[in-house]
Every structure is written in structure tokens, then in C-alpha cells.
Amino acid sequence: MRTRIGWWVYAAAAGALALVVVGNWIWAVTLRAPVLYGEGAVAHAAILARDGLEYTKGAHYGDVSPIFTAANYPPLYFHLAGIGGDPFVTGRVISIAATLFIAGAIALRARSAGAVVAGAIALAWVGSIPVMAWGLAVKPDPLALALTVGATLALARARPLPIVAGVLLGLAVTAKPTALLPAVALLVYTARGDRVGAARGLAGGVAGIFVGLFNRSLDGAFVVHVIDWNALPWRPELLTPLVFIALLVLAVPIATVVMTRAGGGAVGAYLVGAVGVLLLGGREGATVNYFLDLSAALALTAATIAPRLSLGLTYPAASLAQLAIGVVLLNPFPTTPSLLSPTGKWVAEPSFVAYVRDLVPGDVLIEDSGLLIANGREPIVDDLFLWSRNYASGKSFREGQQLLDAVRARRFDAIVSEVQLERIDVGPGYERQRWHADLIAAVLERYQLPPGSTEGFCPAFVPCRHLFVYVPR
């Protein structure tokens, strides 16, 4: 009886948290604006993808020809998010639907343990930190994750469906290249027991890639955007804090897998691939999205052994404590304070969109290009972080000098940052990654903050986010 009550309490708490999460997601859809850094570049590519121009240098949909359009993902998500209307709405709905599909798949996997246990495990996954922050992102991650989970379950059946799994994995790779690691792990798992099935799965994967590429050849522009510009440095000191956060918010399912030795089958193979994705998180710009796969694979593993877990109170009690710790330390929502703030912290605020629309006219170089796109304006650089990292690499990078020349020529009517550039050395590390020192020097040489604006624009919400608007000297 105590065990049953314990699981009911866990399910109720996880359900309440999931309701808060989904409520915030719905609110974000109504904003029609970015909530995470980098969504602007994806929304821009989605708009260009309507005409097949996402990888075409110099493409534009307004009167301004951009200098740097990132489009650093394969085309599947771009084309889906660009289907009519506002990509901040369409893309977000796609991501939310993909996330809810995964939650349903987790519950379905755990159904033999009963509705309460299955629901608790699935709802707790929705309330986990990486899903809170990225489950609604206008990014390819949730779609690639849903396709990979679908493929895993297709192989975990009593009668596996390798062709279906292959097609889904091929599509996942054309949404986000890191899906290749779980795909390879699942292919190796299949090949060990069924070489014919593995061959069928591989054929299905090739077919999925062909469909997901929208008949696009892997031409020079595709290679530059998706491969060259994504070849950012990997450093162990960048991986360490990410692994620490992953262990902090996923400690209970990780310990469960270790103690129960429940890492077998297709789900276990997915878990191996998910660990590989996490290890890629040592690259510049990586954040909690690099353990989305790990969170899903662990939840599927817990769902697989749910009948065993349902016999005791240890798992629900420990998981409930972990959910609470995650919310207190790393809650991503802007309206609720947290003790620690990951780089994926939400920055949604409608007043920023109106501020940029009404008070920052003309051609603008802006740190978050989504604020321009939300107003139907063309970003000249849609991903300042990616521009800065590629410029810093020292590789042949024509767009690097083009932007510096444009700043020095005072081409922009305004330059908008989220940090006071004169004091960036005491700002967050991710700000220094977005603003290369050479670009800062060029800006400060030709632009200045108007007198009395050193505090920047900041609406009344927690945590406070500033916009600093630099104008020509």
C-alpha cells in the first residue's frame, strides 16, 4: 500500500511540474519570438527554405543582402518550420509535438507496470531540465530526438522493423547530424543478431536521408554551412561542466541502469549512442541539448524495467528529490529565479521585440537576430556566435572580413548587444564567444552608447536582460 501511495505522490508531483512546463511552452508559442539564443538563425533559414535558398550565399527575403546566414543544420527541420506562417510558431509547435510524442512513447514502453507508474516516468521526463529548456526550441533537436526514439522502439519490438527504423534514423540525421551516433550504435546492435535486417535498415536509412535532404545534392554550399562552419573546437574543459550538469540532473536513472544492469537490447544500444552525443558536448557553444538523447534513452530504460521499479519506493522517492533539485538549481524559465543559470536559460520577453521594432530602425547588427525576424526584418548576421567562432578559427573565412569592413564603414544604423562591450571582460563567458575581440574593437572605434544609456534597456522581469544600442560616432 505504501509503495502504491509513493508512486501516486511521484506521479502527482511530476504531473504538476509537467503542467507548468507545458503551460510555459504554450505561452512561448503565443510570443512569436525567440526564447533561446540561436533560434533566430534557424527561423531565418526556415524562411529562406521556402524558396530553397537556405544555403545560397547572399540570399535574402527583404531589401538587405546579409553578410552571414548560418543555416548550419541539414534541411529537414528548416523546410518543416518554414511551412507557411511564422517559423517561431510553426517550428515551436513541431518541437512541442515531437517532445510530447517521446513522452507518449516512454509511457507506452512502461505500460506493463500500470498507468500510474508509466505516467509518472513519462511526466518526470517532461519535467527534466534538458526537456524543460529545449522541448519547445525552434531548433532541430526535438524532431531528431523523436525520430531516433521512434527508430529505437521499432527495433525493440518482439518483431523488429529494421526498414522503418532505418528510414526514421535517416530522417533524424537530416534534422541534426549528431543523430548519426545513435544511428550507428543501433545499426551495430542490429547487425550482431541479424545481418539481413541490418542491411535492410541501412537501405532504409539511405532512403530516409534522400527524403530528408529534399533532393538537395551535397554541393559546396551545403558542405560550407553544415560541415565547415560546424567544425568548432572541442576541448575537455568545455565538456567537464556539461557532464557535471548531466550527472546532477540524471543521477537517479543513471544509478538505476548501473545497479539493475538494464542496458541491453535496442534501448541499451541507443543509450551507448546517447553517451557518444554527450561526449561531443566539449565543442564550443554546446549546452544541455547535448544530453537530450541521454535523458530520453535513460527514461526508455527505466520504462523497460518499470515493473521491477514499481515494487519499491526507492526510485520514485529519489526521482522526486532529483526533480526538485533540478528546478531549484537550473530552472530555465525567465519568470522564476534559480540558483544556477545554464547558458540555455530562457530569455523570452515581448517588450524586446517591441523595443527593437519601435526604437531601433534601419540596418542593425544585433546579437539575437530573432528580435529582428520577429518583426519581419532581415538580419545581416543571423548567428553572431557562429560568425565569431569561425572568424576565431583562422580558417579562410570571407564573411569574417566582410563584417569587420561593414562595421568600420558605419554601414549599420545601430549595433545591439546584450552586454556592454566596453566591459565584456567581466561578462559571461558565452558573451565573449559571441563577440570576437576584433569585432568589439571595430564597434567601439566607430560606434558609441548614447549619453545616459550605459545601463541599457531592461524590462521589469527576473532575471533582468539588457539591450545595449550602439550608434555611429
In the structure grid, which three cell numbers stand for residue 427, read together? 561578462
Q: How confident is the model at residue 65 (pLDDT cuts 50, 70, 90)?
A: confident
In the structure grid, which three cell numbers stand for residue 302, read together? 527505466
Work out the mean pLDDT of the chain and round it to a whole number: 90
Each domain of the chain, given as residue ranges in start order, spans: 2-31+72-330, 350-472
Please compute the mean of the pLDDT values over residues 221-249 and round it to a whole number.
91
Q: What is the pLDDT of residue 81?
A: 97
C-alpha angle 221-135-350 in degrees, rounded to nearest 5: 85
Task: Kindly tell me the sign of the dihedral angle through the C-alpha atoms of 68, 73, 76, 82.
Answer: negative
Over residues 120-179, the pLDDT tens digits come to 999 999 999 999 989 999 999 999 999 999 999 999 999 999 999 999 999 999 999 999
C-alpha–C-alpha distance, residues 219 and 207, integer Å: 19
Over residues 270-323, the pLDDT tens digits come to 999 999 999 999 999 889 999 999 999 999 999 999 999 998 899 999 999 999
CB contact at 8 A, 101 and 146: yes
C-alpha–C-alpha distance, residues 390 and 397, integer Å: 7
CB contact at 8 A, 286 and 242: yes
Backbone angles phi, psi at 414, to 5 degrees: -160, 155
CB contact at 8 A, 266 and 159: no
Please compute the mean of the pLDDT values over residues 355-373 and round it to a whole number.
92
Q: What is the pLDDT of residue 348?
A: 58
Q: What percent of the chain has pLDDT over 90?
A: 70
Helix boundaries (H) for 71-194: 76-81, 87-109, 115-126, 129-134, 141-155, 162-173, 180-193
Backbone angles phi, psi at 364, to 5 degrees: -130, 135
Please compute the mean of the pLDDT values over residues 183-192 and round it to a whole number.
96
Q: How many C-beta neighbours within 10 Å does residue 205 have?
A: 26
Over residues 413-457, the pLDDT tens digits come to 999 998 899 999 888 888 899 999 999 999 999 999 987 665 566
Over residues 247-266, the pLDDT tens digits come to 989 999 999 999 988 878 99
On the 0-12 / 13-18 / 19+ scale of CB atoms within 10 A, 196 is exposed
Q: How confident is the model at residue 344 (pLDDT cuts 50, 70, 90)?
A: very low
Backbone region of residue 362 per phi and psi (left: phi > 0; alpha: psi in -120 to 50; beta: other values): left
Q: Which helix (H) or strand (E) holds 448?
A: strand 447-448
Backbone angles phi, psi at 234, to 5 degrees: -110, 130
In the structure grid, which three cell numbers stand for residue 126, read together? 517532461
Q: How many C-beta neighbours within 10 Å does residue 448 have?
A: 14
Q: What is the pLDDT of residue 64?
A: 64
C-alpha angle 73-77-81 in degrees, rounded to nearest 5: 130
C-alpha–C-alpha distance, residues 119 and 439, integer Å: 50
Q: What is the pLDDT of residue 62?
A: 57
Greatest Cα-to-Cα distance within the chain, rounded to the nearest angstrom: 75
Q: What is the pLDDT of residue 394?
A: 78
Q: How confident is the model at residue 339 (pLDDT cuts 50, 70, 90)?
A: low
